[in-house]
Amino acid sequence: MSVVTLVSFDIDGTLEIGDPPGIISIAAVRAARRLGYVVGSCSDRPLAHQRRLWHRLELNPDFTVLKHRLAEVRAA
């Protein structure tokens, strides 16, 4: 079994494109993807909104999930 590292980004107050903006740049998100991390978002924002955000950034996340359901991503 290989080790997989999952990185879950909140949007508001975390990512530079959030409201309010956070300190994590989209370049850092892209770098995590290039390094092979499992990358996605975990937010209070609806899933459709999260998916549109990733689409606008031309990124294909491994997951989008509501905050109270993050444990389900880990289990999958």
Please give the pLDDT value at position 31. Answer: 98
Contact in structure between 66 and 44 (CB atoms under 8 Å): yes
Tell whether 20 is covered by a domain. yes
Tell whether 16 is covered by a domain. yes
Tell whether 50 is covered by a domain. yes
What tens digit of pLDDT does each residue of 13-72 get?
999 999 999 999 999 999 999 999 999 999 999 999 999 999 999 999 999 999 888 888
Tell me how far apart the 2 most distant CA atoms of the chain are, in Å.
39
Tell whether 65 is covered by a domain. yes
Give me the mean pLDDT over the 6-16 stretch.
95
Q: What is d(CA 10, CA 6) in angstroms, rounded to the nearest whole number?
A: 13
Report CA dihedral (68, 73, 75, 76) to the nearest 10 degrees. 150
Tell whether 56 is covered by a domain. yes
Give me the mean pLDDT over the 2-13 stretch.
91
Range of the domain at 49: 6-75
Please give the pLDDT value at position 39. Answer: 96
* pTM as predicted: 0.86
Domains held by the chain: number? 1
Tell whether 1 is covered by a domain. no
Tell whether 61 is covered by a domain. yes
Please give the pLDDT value at position 76. Answer: 56
Tell whether 14 is covered by a domain. yes
Report CA dihedral (44, 47, 11, 33) to the nearest 10 degrees. 140
